[in-house]
Structures are given as structure tokens and as C-alpha cells.
Amino acid sequence: MASSIVLFGPPGAGKGTQAGNIVAITGKPQISTGDMLRAALAAGTTLGMEAKGYMEAGQLVPDDVIIGLIEERLTQSDANEGVLFDGFPRTIAQAEALSHIAELSVVIAIEVPDSRIVERICGRYTCGGCGAVYHDTFNPTASPGECDDCGHTEMKRRADDNEDTVLTRLSAYHSQTAPLADWYKERNLFVAINGDQDIEKVGAAISSVL
């Protein structure tokens, strides 16, 4: 069985950027439960239809359905050399189930202090014209209120990019992942990466692990 990788980190930790780097380095496809659910729904698979029933009823899709989707995904040819699990598992129960169908080589956690996460997320804004992403502190527009790429003058902020919402999301993340981190540490799979540094340095740290 080919070895797979798990990547997790809090919202705003730069997980998306580093996931792309890991895919480039290893050639392993990046998969998330959201992507799998959408693909299964579009394809009308048995598990996809089962998941749809739960989703339409406003319920969480049970772990056994999610694990079934993952098992199906691992049979596809591009997963022959393993995959990169993005944000999964989220609980010890999911980790235990995953251990029966996938072999892991490493679990990488990008760690960033909560205060920095709040600063990163709450400072984000996007161009209403082309969608370019900016930040009050780290990447402001050259001319205030005007997009550097397209010149549009309407800037938008997501309604949930506020401190209270971000702190609530972080609290949920920590309550879920703290026990999961300990579980993987006991199996000598867990590696923590300092995400509170330049993107290039984070990428170099992950590359050295890989």
C-alpha cells in the first residue's frame, strides 16, 4: 500500500498554499472530503446519493459514508502512489477508520498563534472586479481603494472575516485537533511546522520533512 500524507492547520495558516507545494513535490493528488462529496454527488454514485440524503436533511454525513468515499477515491489510478489528505481526519474516530484503509507516512500540522490568525484573516479583502486578494498589513493595494490588477474601485470583505467568528472557528479547530495530534504523536507520525514565518520558509521546512 502506497503511503499517504495528512495536512492540517487552522484557518488562515496557509494550508492551501503549502498543499499545492506538497502536490508539486510528491506528485500525490490533493483530496478533501468536500471535493469527494461534490464528485460523488455529480457522478450519482451509491455513496453519493446516500450522502445527499443526509445533506438535504441538514445532517452531517456519517463517518462510515465519508470513509467509504475515501476508499473509493483510493482505487483511482492517480492515487496509486498515495494521496495528500487535506483537513481529514478531524477526529480520532475518523483517524482510526482511516488507518484501516490507508497507510500514512507523515501527518504535517502547520501551527500559527491564534493572534496571528486573527490578524491574517480579519485584514483580508478582495477586488470586487477580478477577485484579487489583498491584506491591510501584508499586501495592501498600491493606491488605496483601487485594485492593482484591474483598477476596479470596489473592495469587499467576507462577512465572517471578523474577530468573533474567527475565534469561534479557532476554538472548534483546537478542540478537535488537540486530541488528534496526540493520537498521531503516539504513532510517531506527527510533525509540527512553524507557520508563523515567510511562506518560503514554511515550504522549505515541509520539504525537509518530505
User: Is position 100 within any domain?
Assistant: yes
In a domain, 126, yes or no: no
Phi, psi (degrees; rounded to nearest 5) at 117: -65, -45
Relative orientation angle of helices 92-99 and 163-186, to the nearest 10 degrees:
40
- Give domain status of residue 53, yes or no: yes
d(CA 23, CA 194): 20
Answer yes or no: is 14 within a domain: yes
Question: Would you state the pLDDT for residue 37?
Answer: 86
Quote the number of domains for the chain.
1
The residues, ordered by sequence, that sit 6+ positions from 133 with a Cβ below 8 Å of its Cβ are: 124, 125, 126, 139
According to the model, what pLDDT value does residue 1 have? Answer: 56
Buried-state track 83-92, b at ≥16 Cβ within 10 A, e below 16: bbbbbbbbee
Active centre residues (catalytic): 15, 90, 124, 158, 169
- Domain membership of residue 78 (yes or no) is yes
48 part of a folded domain = yes
- CATH classification of the domain holding 190: 3.40.50.300
- Distance separating alpha carbons of residues 102 and 3, to the nearest angstrom: 7
Residue 7, CB-side half-sphere exposure with 13 Å CA sphere: 29
In this structure, is residue 154 part of a structural domain?
no
Contact call for residues 63 and 118 (beta carbons, < 8 A):
no
Supply the pLDDT for residue 34. Answer: 81
Domain containing 90 equals 3-112+171-209
**Cα–Cα distance for residue pair 176/91, rounded to 1 Å:** 6
pLDDT by residue, tens only, the chain of 210 residues: 579 999 998 888 988 889 999 999 999 999 988 888 888 888 888 998 998 888 888 787 889 999 999 998 999 999 999 999 998 898 899 999 999 999 999 999 999 999 999 999 999 999 999 999 999 998 999 999 899 999 999 999 988 888 999 999 899 888 888 899 999 999 999 999 999 999 899 999 999 998
Strand, helix or coil for residue 182:
helix
| 152 domain-assigned | no
Using the 8-state DSSP alphabet, how is residue 148 labeled?
T
